[in-house]
A = this chain, B = another copy of it.
Amino acid sequence: MLDIYTPEYFMKQAMLEAEKAAQSGEIPVGVVIVSHQRIIARGHNVVEQLGDVTAHAEMIAITAAADYLQNKYLKDCTVYVTLEPCVMCAGALRWSQVGKLVYAAADPKAGFMRYGKELLHPKTKLEYGILESECRALMKTFFTDKR
């Protein structure tokens, strides 16, 4: 049987979230959180809508996933996000002890990787580059349209 629940499938779902953000004039970042092959939480950037710098896609989705699981730790979960998380979101992911983080496009300016993988929990696995060019294109289109 063909397994449709590939990392690419989940990243495409995160891209759908990012597109919702773009449609509202927000920087297009989207997240899904997956537990045992099921999406248990979604989130997109709502910083402008809420006027709240903490309302990044990852923060929204971490809170939603913990609420769904009734457990503040996300040890069995994988977070798929279209852009490399910032330092704030990496810190939140660390506290959540998330099982795995998968991000698409790198963010050399605000991404957490300038401080290295140790910003995450020691048990968190890390993967990146899945659908990188598609997610980078999402950002590029957004900022080109803005100008």
Q: A residues touching B (Cβ–Cβ < 8 Å)?
A: 47, 51-54, 59, 62-63, 66-67, 70-73, 86-92, 94-96, 115, 119
From the candidates B52, B66, B88, name the one contacting A67 in the complex (CB within 8 A).
Answer: B52
Residues of B within 8 A of A66 (CB): 51-53
Residues of B within 8 A of A87 (CB): 87-88, 90-91, 94, 119
Distance of A72 from chain B, by nearest CB (Å): 5
Distance of A60 from chain B, by nearest CB (Å): 9
How would you classify the secondary structure of chain A's contact residues: helix, strand, loop or mixed? helix
Distance of A4 from chain B, by nearest CB (Å): 31
From the candidates B47, B51, B52, B62, name the one contacting A53 in the complex (CB within 8 A).
Answer: B62
From the candidates B54, B70, B95, B96, name the one contacting A95 in the complex (CB within 8 A).
Answer: B54
B70 and A63: CB pair below 8 A?
A: no
Distance of A85 from chain B, by nearest CB (Å): 9
Distance of A107 from chain B, by nearest CB (Å): 13
In the complex, what distance in Å separates the CA atom of A94 from the CA atom of B53? 9
* 7 cross-chain CB contacts under 8 A: A51-B70, A52-B63, A53-B66, A86-B91, A87-B88, A87-B119, A88-B88
From the candidates B47, B51, B63, B115, name the one contacting A115 in the complex (CB within 8 A).
Answer: B115
